[in-house]
Amino acid sequence: MLPQTWYALDPIWEGDEAIVRDGLPHDRLAPGWQMLLLGDGSPTRHLKLLTGETTEVDVIDMSAIGTHPDGAPAIIKAVPAPHLRRQVWLRTPSGQRLAYAASWWEAAHVDEYLQNRSIPIWDSLSRLHAELYRDVRGIHYGHSAILEKAFGQSGPFWGRHYLFWHQKKPLTLIYEVFSPYLTRYLGPMQR
């Protein structure tokens, strides 16, 4: 039995790599939201630029899950097992939650890359000067009662999953969901 579960969206719609590559019509997902969800840049950096505030991390789970698929996107098979799952809230210093993220790491090497587990992944990896490639593999639109309560916002929500590649090998799988609170900065999700 695994410890805590993670907060996957109950999907209304999901898009694959072709959608990620080509984008969506703007009446389905506005351009600013597409840049956040489909782009290969750092979400913690984007959140800081949007809000003008530092992006802080609340680590809510670090669980060894072994070789269990954990309900993660199927591409988890690319990350060497056994796995460690990390879950975090990304928030402003005042406590406004902006995003939720779950990530799956090769347990044997997680300490090399997350030397300080209380800072964003990108900050940890940047400090190591790790060359990375963010490979967005899917986009999700769906509901989550837990995330509605945690964000203090009604769904549905947009999310994505991607692999981080380092030295031509998959380093981690990350699944992120963004709060509709970000409409304050990005405008409406749809035109």
Please state, for a pLDDT cut of 70, what percent of the chain lies above it. Answer: 86
Superfamily for 10-186? Chorismate lyase-like (3.40.1410.10)
What are the residue ranges spanned by the domains of the chain? 10-186
Summarize pLDDT for 44-58 with one digit per residue, the tens.
Answer: 889 999 999 999 999
Spatial neighbors of 20 by CB under 8 A, at least 6 apart, are 38, 136, 137, 138, 139, 160
- pLDDT tens sequence for the chain (191 residues): 444 689 999 999 999 999 999 999 999 999 999 999 999 888 888 999 999 999 999 999 989 999 999 999 999 999 999 999 999 999 999 999 999 999 999 888 776 656 555 555 555 555 444 556 789 999 999 999 999 999 999 999 999 999 988 888 888 899 999 999 999 999 999 87
Q: What are phi and psi of 146, to 5 degrees?
A: -65, -45
- C-alpha–C-alpha distance, residues 155 and 167, integer Å: 37
